[in-house]
Amino acid sequence: MFMGKKVKIRWKQFFSEQKTQVFIGQILEMDDTWVRVKGKSYLLTGFDTQPRVSNVEREVGIPIEAIAVMTILPDDLDLNKLEYKVVKGRIAIKLGPEEELGLV
């Protein structure tokens, strides 16, 4: 169902001091308990004016129970050329000429 799709995955926060973490990439494998995704992580704390973005793409395994939200992104979105900005303490990426998607 989600195999090969480009996604934005936001981890659940289990305590108030936990940093918000988002992973943007492409699903390589998925079952009832895990998702394997290749992409980059985005981290934003309350003190950051810009997100911390991983420099290198990597493969990660994320337990389904740790995912707060998984958003399907457009198939034609170039994950290597994402345009993003911080808006009111949240990360937003540009999907089209007038569109933005809140990430964090």
Domains and CATH numbers, the chain: 6-76 (2.30.30)
Question: Residue 1's CB: how many other CB atoms inside 10 A?
Answer: 5
The predicted-structure confidence for 29-67, as pLDDT tens digits, reads as follows: 999 999 999 999 888 776 666 778 888 999 999 999 999
- 16 phi, psi to nearest 5 deg: -65, -30
Burial label, 36 (beta-carbon count in 10 A; 0-12, 13-18, 19+)? middle
Question: Which pLDDT does position 42 carry in this prediction?
Answer: 85
- 37 phi, psi to nearest 5 deg: -130, 145
- 43 phi, psi to nearest 5 deg: -130, 130
- 103 phi, psi to nearest 5 deg: -105, -35
Rounded to two decimals, what is the model's pTM?
0.83
